[in-house]
Amino acid sequence: MCERPENRGARMDEDKRKATYLAQTAESYRLLGEFVAEFELLMFTMRSVLEREMGGPGGQSGVQALTVELTAWPLSKSFNSYALSRTKGDPIAQKAIPMFKDNFQKLIETRNDLLHGTHFIGWASQEQVDFSKPEMLRLKNYKGGVMNANVSISHDSMAAYIVRAKQLNQVAMAIGVHLILNKWEAQFESSGAFRFEV
């Protein structure tokens, strides 16, 4: 007995929906993992700059004993304080370094929300056909009480977080280089903004 054309069309639509669901759900997990990896590379860069700069006679391993225990927030404060103390008198560096710290601390908050939130990746209604915008619940205490942080884990949002982590890694590397070269105007605007190569 042959399958009726309308049943065949419905089955094909369901097969396409299932394939889309599987692909987009896998992409959600991939993007989350890539962001975590890029964030940790940024942390590695900052630690490496501090270790190289402060290694002294004891070498980098001596400084690693201190930096290895620093989580993101204290690492950003240490990185900022050290770099500012090394660049007193340079007006570009004195703007660029705090600008980096502010941007990194915003990224820390995003990272914390992503890691400590409850992700509903793969959850979908029967009618849903786009699975690239999963939901996430990240409850936090605010002045007005407990509220959701409203952090997006859509594919577009996650891709933007990844780009931001990569950009900040470039800036951290440049700060490390310019702590040695002391030529801040080569890659930083007078406002302190980093010149990204296109």
Per-domain residue ranges of the chain: 5-186
* Rounded Cα gap, residues 177 and 93, in angstroms: 12
The mean pLDDT of 67-81, rounded to a whole number, is 93
What is the per-residue pLDDT across 3-61, written as a single tens digit (0 to 9) for each? 555 565 666 688 999 999 999 999 999 999 999 999 999 999 999 999 888 876 555 66
The mean pLDDT of 72-90, rounded to a whole number, is 95
pTM of the model: 0.88
Please give the structure tokens belonging to residue 96.
Answer: 């660029």
Q: Is-contact 119 86, C-beta < 8 A?
A: no
pLDDT of residue 54: 83
When mean pLDDT is compared across 117-126, 159-168, 170-179, 189-198, the lowest value belongs to: 189-198
* Rounded Cα gap, residues 187 and 138, in angstroms: 37
